Amino acid sequence: MTGETTIGVFGDHSWGLGGRGALTLGARFDQWENTEGRRTVDGATTNLPGKRARSLSPRASLLFRIAPSFSLTSSAYRAFRAPTLNELYRTFQVGDVVTLANAELDAETVEGVEAGFLAGGRAFSLRATAFRMDLGDTVASVTLSARPGLITRQRQNLGSVRSDGIEVDAEARLGRTVLTLGWLHSDARVRSFAADPSLVGNRVPQIPSNQASATFRFVTAEGATFAVQGRWADTQYDDDRNVFLLGSMRTMDALLSVPLAETIELFVAGENLIGGRYEVGRTPVLTIGPPRGVRGGVRFHLAPLLSHRD
């Protein structure tokens, strides 16, 4: 049992730049507190320490239009995340891995900068953004011991983590046909951890270096929609020591929806249509993602369907 209180206040303001863009400044203040924590195991109750944190999170962003079809973007920010009740108090086991909670966890913080551009118009658009994020006190599952049949980990605050990368999105429109492409590259690594320096330089678990997606969507004049989406992700690790490597993932989904009335549509969707066998976990027991699947149903909308597709 525990009592948790979170209070947040935020605000922002934008200034126009004479029709050439906008400058936006904002800030958020958070106060987080956990009190009266208790854990009962086999009838024995242990009082847990209370935790409190306060954080001011400022943000500044700039959009500046160089030409009618080309704009520059940039932003700088600081953010705060309190540890969840699951991370603080819930111990669990998956496969051979036992993950211990940690009532001593501190809140995470992140400081980041981004810069990029927007180009194109109604028929074609391209957006690219480069980013760098430095995370402090990152909550991670740290391996304490490993032996055959039992791996013990605990939620701990890493010293710092840095993530560098670039994100690119492109969209082309031809009548009622829309094609969207996306790519994300992210290199997230541990920069410091005084409790176990051997983790420094390791990749952060469950973050692939590269991800890509492609979506094709066609909408008829009557409002019927057909869409196909393909997704791919590079290899990633499932543990802090970078021992359990997960293979790359590829999958394809499809959706067909047909309006039956102004606010009702019938749909059928297929998932993982190519039947790709991809890994989602190693504990070290291998967990495989869902196989091919088909679902369907009826959707009810509060507004007429055609208003969503125009």
Give me the domain span that covers residue 118.
Answer: 1-204
Q: Is 134 left (phi over 0), alpha (psi -120 to 50) or beta?
A: beta
How far from each other are the two terminal CA atoms of the chain, in whole angstroms? 50
Whether residues 195 and 210 share a domain: the answer is: no
Report the alpha-carbon distance of residue 289 to residue 249 in Å, rounded. 9
Domain boundary among 153, 175, 204: 204
Q: What is the pLDDT of residue 90?
A: 86
List pLDDT tens digits, range 135-166. 999 999 999 999 988 999 999 998 899 999 99
Whether residues 114 and 132 share a domain: the answer is: yes
Whether residues 110 and 58 share a domain: the answer is: yes
H helices of the chain, where? 85-89, 305-309
With 0-12 / 13-18 / 19 or more C-beta atoms within 10 angstroms meaning exposed / middle / buried, residue 73 is middle
Domain count within the chain:
2
Whether residues 236 and 176 share a domain: the answer is: no
Whether residues 69 and 194 share a domain: the answer is: yes
Whether residues 71 and 211 share a domain: the answer is: no
Whether residues 97 and 241 share a domain: the answer is: no
Q: What is the pLDDT of residue 305?
A: 64
Is the model's pLDDT at 1 over the cut of 60? no
Distances from the Cα of 73 to the Cαs of 2, 18, 22, 58, 62, in angstroms?
43, 16, 10, 17, 6
Is the model's pLDDT at 261 over the cut of 90? no
Q: What is the pLDDT of residue 2?
A: 62
Whether residues 168 and 33 share a domain: the answer is: yes
CATH of the domain at 37: 2.40.170.20
Global confidence as pTM: 0.85
List pLDDT tens digits, range 267-303. 999 999 998 888 999 888 888 999 999 999 998 988 7
With 0-12 / 13-18 / 19 or more C-beta atoms within 10 angstroms meaning exposed / middle / buried, residue 111 is middle
* Cβ atoms of residues 115 and 61 within 8 Å: no
Domain boundary among 145, 180, 204: 204
Domain boundary among 185, 204, 223: 204
* Cβ atoms of residues 163 and 187 within 8 Å: yes
* Cβ atoms of residues 59 and 80 within 8 Å: no
Q: What is the pLDDT of residue 42?
A: 75
List pLDDT tens digits, range 54-101. 999 999 999 999 999 999 999 999 999 999 888 988 889 988 899 998
* Cβ atoms of residues 191 and 158 within 8 Å: no
Is the model's pLDDT at 218 over the cut of 90? yes
* Cβ atoms of residues 288 and 281 within 8 Å: no
**Range 11-21 average pLDDT:** 93
- Tally DSSP H helices, then E strands, for the chain: 2, 23
Whether residues 1 and 79 share a domain: the answer is: yes
Whether residues 185 and 107 share a domain: the answer is: yes
Length of the chain: 310
List the structure tokens of 3: 């009592």
Is the model's pLDDT at 197 over the cut of 50? yes
Confidence of residue 307 (pLDDT cuts 50, 70, 90): very low
Whether residues 62 and 198 share a domain: the answer is: yes
Whether residues 150 and 247 share a domain: the answer is: no
List pLDDT tens digits, range 34-61. 877 777 777 777 777 778 889 999 999 9
